Amino acid sequence: MTSCIMFQGTGSHVGKSVLVAALCRIFLQDGYKVAPFKSQNMALNSYVTADGGEMGRAQVVQAEAAGLAPSVLMNPVLLKPTGQATSQVIVLGKPIGNLSAREYHEKYNMQALGVVEEALNKLKSEFEVIVIEGAGSPAEVNLQATEIVNMRIARMADCPVFLIADIDKGGALASVVGTLELLDPSDRARVKGIVINKFRGDLKLFQPAVDFLEQKTGIPVLGVIPYFQGFRVQEEDTIPEEMLKAGRQTVENKIDVVVINLPHISNFTDFDPLEDEPDVQLRYVGKANKIGNPDIIIIPGSKNTIHDLVFLEKSGMAEAILKQDKRGIPIIGICGGFQILGRELHDPQHTESDIDSIKGLGLLNMTTTFEPDKITTQVQAEIIGSGQLLSGTSGQLVKGYEIHMGRSELRDGVQPAFRIIERSTKQTDLLDGAVREDGRVFGTYIHGIFDNDSFRRNIIDLIREQKGWGPLKADDILTVHEQRDKDFNKLADVVRNSLDMEKVYEIMGINPEEKQPLVSGDS
């Protein structure tokens, strides 16, 4: 029989996604076959599965923590915001169209409930433990009648709920008490534990607050999780504030990598492997006067490329990027960033925006036209481009995934960067990306390109060479897989030592002594 547990929050960004990943790793270490589940996710960070389905990146991270290949069953409904109150709706990995918030909540989301239940039941048939994540807060009274991600899912799974509060933001005690007060009594009875997250300070001084919460609510505080440092688990949909603050100044003896912080930035997790490099300072920059003197600039993916181009022009960022090009600074564009590097972007069917055409930065001689059909595939590609940034990589194979609706046509003065030889396990022969003649500017539609260790290090070491530095010793560098696995285990250790796991198992009705745990640190 499958046991389920659900994490809900007193609000957004309280740490639900990371704690679900932690529990997935803990259950895996304890010998259980475990899977994550989030019925509906709103995120711009997405991923493409082996069979071409698109899903939220947070559930991909949780799947990795559980030792699994990601499946759209783990996130059957994905909402990707395209504007202020409009999202592309993706069901079981495939887009069904763009809907306004009103259209979605009043006309569609309850129709998706059957799909959600079927996905959950399939996971329950394959796994011993399901760790479920809610969204936002279950106390949003205006959404309770039609929500399909919080208490309705807890009732569907018939599982206990742990309520998480972020004490780092302040007001944690009030948010816990207020959330419970606004729940229906039957739903409130499902809340079997409270978790205080992101705590800084002396736990002994916080004990009176724990006692108060338990007396006021009658619900045990199962743990106080410290604000962890020294390792990182990928974020769901918002660049962490500490990363934005840390990126405001350069660091000596490190390669200064600037990622342009677009208003509709998507898949910023593409750059996490760069941040993990010991000799790289990664900065997210959204203002022209903050660019400084970087060693390389990356323009990331975007869910609304045309509107982000308008932002670059109006903010002065476009001019600042062009000045860096004149200085000889290398520039890379990923997906939407690749399109932005071109001369023109056309959207005749208003697939992405209400603007028919717009000029790009003109750093690559190409044009992009948006089409209604979305390409979502995992790919393997051969590097065929040459020049400064790709020097010494010709013939290397890289892996990644595509998520785009634009089709780009190259003109004179550029050459393809990659030859795609495999799409979703099928052999193919397609050209991707573009490299300028001097090799200093290139772009690609391939997300996850920096997950390829040799490719990533080659670019970093080329820049080191240009600065007169020697290459970093290989012994000092972990692969992406090694780094993520190490961080998952560190996360599991912190949460296991802070959470009353014996009580968690008791609430779930599980006896962990019946299981054969993995060797400590295994995954």
Confidence category of residue 31, pLDDT binned at 50, 70, 90: very high
Q: How far is CA 120 from CA 22, 60, 73, 130, in A?
A: 20, 16, 7, 9
146: in domain: yes
Q: What residues have CB less than 8 Å from 69, skipping those under 6 apart? A: 49, 50, 63
Strand partners, 37: 132
> pLDDT value at position 513?
83
DSSP state of 153: H
Please say whether the beta carbons of 179 and 163 come within 8 A. yes
pLDDT exceeds 90 at position 523: no
> pLDDT value at position 238?
62
- Same-domain status, 389 and 489: no
- b/e sequence 280-308, b meaning 16+ C-beta within 10 Å: bbbbbbbeeebbeebbbbbbbbbbbbbbb
- Residues 501 and 30: their CA atoms lie apart, in Å, by 11
pLDDT exceeds 70 at position 187: yes
pLDDT exceeds 80 at position 466: yes
What's the farthest any 2 CA atoms get from each other in the chain?
A: 73
> pLDDT value at position 352?
82
pLDDT exceeds 80 at position 173: yes
What does the pLDDT look like over 61-80, one tens digit per residue?
A: 999 999 999 999 999 999 99
- Same-domain status, 438 and 394: yes
Whether pTM > 0.85 for this model: the answer is yes
Q: What is the DSSP secondary-structure string of 94-124? A: EEEEEEEHHHIIIIIGGGGHHHHHHHHHHHH
Confidence category of residue 1, pLDDT binned at 50, 70, 90: confident
What does the pLDDT look like over 98-156, one tens digit per residue?
A: 888 888 888 888 899 999 999 999 999 999 999 999 999 999 988 888 899 999 999 99
- Same-domain status, 31 and 171: yes
- Same-domain status, 362 and 215: no
Alpha helices in 158-249 (DSSP H): 172-182, 185-188, 203-217, 241-246
CA atoms within 13 A on the CB side of 71: 14
516: in domain: no
Q: How far is CA 489 from CA 7, 22, 141, 483, in A?
A: 20, 8, 38, 10
pLDDT exceeds 80 at position 211: yes
> pLDDT value at position 102?
87
- b/e sequence 57-91, b meaning 16+ C-beta within 10 Å: bbbbbbbbbbbbebbbbbbbbbbbbbeeebbbbbb
Strand partners, 50: none
Q: How many CB atoms lie within 10 A of CB 422?
A: 18
Arithmetic mean of pLDDT, 87-106: 90
Containing H/E element for 125?
helix 113-126
Q: Tokens 């997250």 correspond to what residue?
A: 197
514: in domain: no
256: in domain: yes
Arithmetic mean of pLDDT, 330-341: 97
Confidence category of residue 419, pLDDT binned at 50, 70, 90: very high
pLDDT exceeds 80 at position 477: no
Token digits of residue 35? 């899977």
- Residues 47 and 168: their CA atoms lie apart, in Å, by 29
- Per DSSP, the three-state class of 410 is strand
Confidence category of residue 45, pLDDT binned at 50, 70, 90: confident
Confidence category of residue 169, pLDDT binned at 50, 70, 90: confident
- Same-domain status, 123 and 156: yes
Confidence category of residue 239, pLDDT binned at 50, 70, 90: low
Measured on CA atoms in the order 147, 148, 149, 152, is the torsion positive or negative?
positive
521: in domain: no
- Same-domain status, 53 and 143: yes
Alpha helices in 189-228 (DSSP H): 203-217
> pLDDT value at position 4?
97
Q: How far from each other are the two terminal CA atoms of the chain, in whole angstroms?
A: 23
Strand partners, 89: 79, 97
- Per DSSP, the three-state class of 520 is coil
Active site residues: 335, 447
- Residues 409 and 367: their CA atoms lie apart, in Å, by 5
Confidence category of residue 224, pLDDT binned at 50, 70, 90: very high
> pLDDT value at position 101?
86
- Same-domain status, 352 and 374: yes
Measured on CA atoms in the order 482, 484, 197, 176, is the torsion positive or negative?
negative
pLDDT exceeds 60 at position 226: yes
- Same-domain status, 209 and 324: no
Token digits of residue 33? 């076959």
219: in domain: yes
- Residues 7 and 504: their CA atoms lie apart, in Å, by 12
Q: Regarding beta strands 77-81 and 86-91, do their DSSP bridges make them parallel or antiparallel, or are they unpaired? A: antiparallel
> pLDDT value at position 237?
59
Q: How far is CA 106 from CA 102, 143, 151, 497, in A?
A: 6, 10, 18, 43
> pLDDT value at position 470?
86
171: in domain: yes
> pLDDT value at position 113?
94
For the domain that residue 409 is a member of, what is the CATH number? 3.40.50.880
> pLDDT value at position 84?
74
- Residues 488 and 498: their CA atoms lie apart, in Å, by 15
- Same-domain status, 337 and 318: yes
405: in domain: yes
- Residues 508 and 510: their CA atoms lie apart, in Å, by 6
What does the pLDDT look like over 197-210, one tens digit per residue?
A: 999 988 999 999 99
What does the pLDDT look like over 483-504, one tens digit per residue?
A: 899 999 999 999 999 999 999 9
- Same-domain status, 245 and 97: no
> pLDDT value at position 259?
96
pLDDT exceeds 80 at position 519: no
Rg for the chain, CA atoms, rounded: 23
> pLDDT value at position 94?
94
Tell me the residue range of the domain where 310 lies. Answer: 241-474
Please say whether the beta carbons of 368 and 408 come within 8 A. yes
> pLDDT value at position 450?
96
> pLDDT value at position 313?
96
- Same-domain status, 251 and 193: no
Length of the chain: 523
For the domain that residue 491 is a member of, what is the CATH number? 3.40.50.300
Confidence category of residue 252, pLDDT binned at 50, 70, 90: confident
pLDDT exceeds 80 at position 455: yes
> pLDDT value at position 147?
92
- Same-domain status, 8 and 155: yes
pLDDT exceeds 60 at position 245: no
**Residue % of the chain over a pLDDT of 90:** 77
The count of structural domains within the chain is 2
> pLDDT value at position 241?
59
DSSP state of 257: E
Arithmetic mean of pLDDT, 330-356: 93
DSSP state of 510: -
Confidence category of residue 186, pLDDT binned at 50, 70, 90: very high
- Residues 309 and 250: their CA atoms lie apart, in Å, by 26
pLDDT exceeds 90 at position 517: no
Containing H/E element for 462?
helix 453-466
Q: How does the average pLDDT of the chain come out, rounded?
A: 92
